Amino acid sequence: WGADHHGYVPRVRASLEALGYDPKALEVLILQLVHLKRGGETVSMGKRAGKFVTVRELIDEVGVDAARFFFLTRRADASLDFDLELAKKHSLENPVYHVQYVHARIQSIFRKLSEEDGWKGLFRREEFSEAPRYRIGMGSEAREIRVNPAALAALTMPEELALIRKTHEFFRVVEGAAAPREPHRLTSFLVELASAYHSYYTMGNRDRDLRVVSDDAERSEARVLLSAAVQVVVRRGLGLLGVGAPERM
């Protein structure tokens, strides 16, 4: 319900109790107002004047993914400034693009490995021969590989260890977001994870040895596995929010 209707909550609960129902069974989320911003200015709206923007019009302008993600970046009881121009940007400034691009960026790693037969040089060592199989990637770039957990020992950089710790927070974050009806916890987590991976990935632009796939096979295997784990977490997180996880951007 809108914040201006909060006074009706105790009245409705009292009515339920009078009718013999448990008033605690009624859960009401109080929602604050959304302020649309365009060009730095608040979009003027008024029901009496018949001047307003519908959700359908908003989705038509910014897309369903951006609309959903932006609405879920704030607590229900906190007001939201919805920046229409920001929601349409194809840049890392846009939080939904920021997160979706991580998924597409990691998929591009798998795509390049497929196009250049790069998989042939990875996960072929003897210690992988009896390891369990896992499927990583999506679509035509997906591969079933044998994963030996010992391969992750090659991940020693602080940035890599931080990403491992961050991915392990996923289930705790989901549980913490679901119980109190606070999906903004998940959007915040995904933005933080995306920022950490983008920073890690771009380190390879300055030093070839820091690229996900380099001349060091053991490090490459570990970094591919780490990237695959990040991609899975991002895809599942976006899925829970009803937001798409594109393979290309």
Q: What is the mean pLDDT of residues 155-164?
A: 96
Fold adopted by 95-241: Isoleucyl-tRNA Synthetase; Domain 1 (1.10.730)
Least confident span in 43-52, 55-64, 211-220: 43-52
Crossing angle (nearest 10°) for helices 184-206 and 170-178: 160
pLDDT surpassing 80 at residue 80: yes
pLDDT digits (tens, 9 = 90+) for 176-221: 999 899 999 999 999 999 999 999 999 999 999 999 999 998 899 9
pLDDT of residue 115: 84
DSSP label at 76? T
pLDDT of residue 127: 63
CA torsion angle for 25, 26, 27, 31 (degrees, to 10)? 180
Contact, 213 vs 148, CB < 8 A?
no
What angle is formed at CA 31 by the lines to CA 30 and CA 35, rounded to 5 degrees?
160
Per-residue pLDDT band at 233 (split at 50, 70, 90): very high
Domain boundaries, the chain: 3-88, 95-241
| 188 SS3 class | helix
pLDDT digits (tens, 9 = 90+) for 8-36: 889 999 999 999 999 889 888 888 888 89
Q: What is the mean pLDDT of residues 154-161?
A: 96
pTM of the predicted structure, to 2 decimals: 0.88
CA distance 50 to 61: 20
Could you tell me whether strands 80-83 and 34-38 are parallel, antiparallel, or unpaired per DSSP bridges? parallel
